[in-house]
Amino acid sequence: MNKTKYVFVTGGVTSSLGKGIIAASLAKLLQERGYSVTIQKLDPYINVDPGTLNPYEHGECYVTDDGAETDLDLGHYERFLNIPTSQANNVTTGRIYQSVIDKERKGDFLGKTVQVIPHITDEIKDRIQILGNTGNFDIVITEIGGTVGDIESLPYVEAVRQLLWELGEENAIVIHLTLVPYLAAAGELKTKPTQHSVKMLMQSGVSPDILVCRTEHEISESIKRKLALFCNVKQEDVIESIDAKTIYDVPNLMLKEGLDTVVLKKLQLPSDKLPNLNAWNCFLKKFKNPKYTVEIGLIGKYVELRDAYKSISEAFIHAGSQNEIKVNIHWIHSEELNVEDVPGKLKHLNGILVAPGFGGRGIEGKIEAVRYARENNIPFLGICLGMQMAVIEFARNVLGLEDANSTEMDEKTPYPVIDIMEDQKDLTIYGGTMRLGAWDCKLENNSKVKQIYKSDMISERHRHRYEFNDTYLEQIQNAGMIATGKNPKTNLVEVVEIPSHPWFVGVQYHPEYKSTVLNPHPLFIDFIKAALEHSLK
Ligand code: GLN
């Protein structure tokens, strides 16, 4: 077995340059050349994981099969590479410190003074090498969150410096992602911010091997030469990353610029086999040349920040392309929906998705949106909280259980049709204690979901504390909403459907986390198909 090689991705000048997309695109090219690759993200914040963060702070919290609550970049890694990530793929400063402090309390440091160097940096180095040490990967790409120069990133950059020295230049390299801004008044691309950010990196003892330069305009050879000269890299190692219409164009752009070739050359790995992007390009072709259009309403309370629903909007892109349908998402704020204006705001839609969420804000709007979809035969998909809202709406408006609710929103509701899970009742710690990760679900014969998944046993990812209250199951089923998917061990209701409606499905799990470019999620594919049928009526 070959020794694992490491690629570190740092960022300079500003945040939000898309390190995750560059890392994922490079990984895709290497994967399609036959290398086994994974990507890891190191986040310099003190939270142990993003699970306790408000989505407004950091966008969506992504969940892996093994139940890690992670940064949304892990979603990009999975969507590009089509292989699952795990707990080891996302590490925060909080987690690093937590484990160093636990070791100190156990006496593992034998009386030594515990310090950032070497104890924190050693822990970072161990976390970086955990994936490589599994023996499953030829190449591990590690993205360092934040921007070079941030106080928080310093221990990470120092750990990278040490690893570069320990592993040797043919085994570990640094890609520095930077911004080359265009000054309209001068009509010029400016290299100075990049020079400064590379200088900053060098002050920490790390010299980049490759520069990837984000830009709005083409970078000429003379600018590349200037960047190379002042940043101490070869001209061929200055890679342009021009703004793309879609993130899914980036692998092709990086291929054209030869990013994968220079990486392989530096790591002394063969580059004779070219990447096979046939399936990827087939997806892109269909995505860019849709035959139809559907209008989907995404009802949520964080819609001002689209990143809060990243996996859902990407899942629509994958499923849309598969069906050759352009999915227009209408972002609808649930707090701005009420009985009177629901028809006006929702009547042009061909499908309604009620999004996941926590807490009471905006839930009455979500319930009204479910009602409109149910009563007007508009295809409906409810995810997690969205499924719970569908059950509440049905209990209130079909069964007449006035004020039915989830105990999350109203502890004293007379009809707690959604209630806290038994094993959650006595919890006092909120971080990492939800029902998380992949669980099996058995689908009923003759159900829509079984037809869609073409299987009776599925596994999907979860992130919740509340569940369908079985006390109401019979009453709800007798009235026409059927539980068609259950956990085989606990009998927890995972899927509800209304068979008399053209397409009405609520799922307690998050199908969006498992949708990838090459493997669009069957529920999204079928939902979009149903929306198309609705649009043609
Ligand atoms: N707040 C709900 C629960 O905890 C739903 C969570 C979600 O939508 N992810 O059960």
pLDDT at 52: 87
The angle subtended at Cα 35 by Cα 31 and Cα 41, nearest 5°, is 65
> Among this protein's residues, is 218 annotated catalytic?
no
Strands 139-144 and 5-11: parallel
Position in ligand 1 atom list of the atom nearest CA 510:
9
| Cβ neighbours for 32, distance < 8 A, ≥ 6 positions apart | 275, 276, 277, 280
Q: At what angle do helices 278-288 and 250-257 cross, to 10 degrees?
A: 130
Residue 434 CA to ligand 1 centre (angstroms): 9
- Give the count of beta carbons closer than 10 Å to the beta carbon of residue 277: 16
- Give backbone dihedrals phi and psi of 436, rounded to 5 degrees, phi first: -120, 150
Residue 228 CA to residue 98 CA, distance in Å, equals: 40
Residue in 158, 384, 441, 462 annotated catalytic: 384
Question: What percentage of the chain carries pLDDT values higher than 90?
Answer: 92
Average the pLDDT over 173-184 and give the result.
96
> Among this protein's residues, is 231 annotated catalytic?
no
- From 354, 463, 468, the mutation candidate for ligand 1 (largest count of ligand atoms within 8 A of CB) is 463
> Among this protein's residues, is 512 annotated catalytic?
yes
Residue 112 CA to residue 199 CA, distance in Å, equals: 34
pLDDT at 1: 47
What is residue 516's three-state secondary structure? coil
What is residue 394's three-state secondary structure? helix
> For 108-148, what is each residue's pLDDT tens digit?
999 999 999 999 999 999 999 999 999 999 999 999 999 99
How much helix, strand and coil, in percent to the nearest 5, is found in the chain? 40, 20, 35
Residue 45 CA to residue 156 CA, distance in Å, equals: 12
Residue 449 CA to residue 493 CA, distance in Å, equals: 13
pLDDT at 470: 95
- Give the count of beta carbons closer than 10 Å to the beta carbon of residue 103: 14
> For 272-316, what is each residue's pLDDT tens digit?
999 999 999 999 999 999 999 999 999 999 999 999 999 999 999
Judge if the beta carbon of residue 306 lies within 6 A of ligand 1.
no
- Tell me the one-letter amino acid at 429: I
Map tokens 């085989």 to a residue.
488
Helix (H) or strand (E) holding 222: helix 221-231
- For the entire predicted model, the pTM comes to 0.95
Ligand 1 atom 6 nearest Cα:
464
Average the pLDDT over 48-72 and give the result.
92
Judge if the beta carbon of residue 50 lies within 6 A of ligand 1.
no
> For 231-257, what is each residue's pLDDT tens digit?
999 999 999 999 999 999 999 999 999
- Give the count of beta carbons closer than 10 Å to the beta carbon of residue 284: 18
Helix (H) or strand (E) holding 328: strand 325-333
Judge if the beta carbon of residue 358 lies within 6 A of ligand 1.
yes
Residue 410 CA to residue 367 CA, distance in Å, equals: 15
pLDDT at 426: 85
The first and second tokens of residue 93, run together, are: 């400063």
- Give backbone dihedrals phi and psi of 273, rounded to 5 degrees, phi first: -85, 120
The first and second tokens of residue 188, run together, are: 């010029």
pLDDT at 54: 87
Q: Which of 136-150, 170-184, 277-291, 422-436 has the lowest mean pLDDT?
A: 422-436
Average the pLDDT over 341-364 and give the result.
94
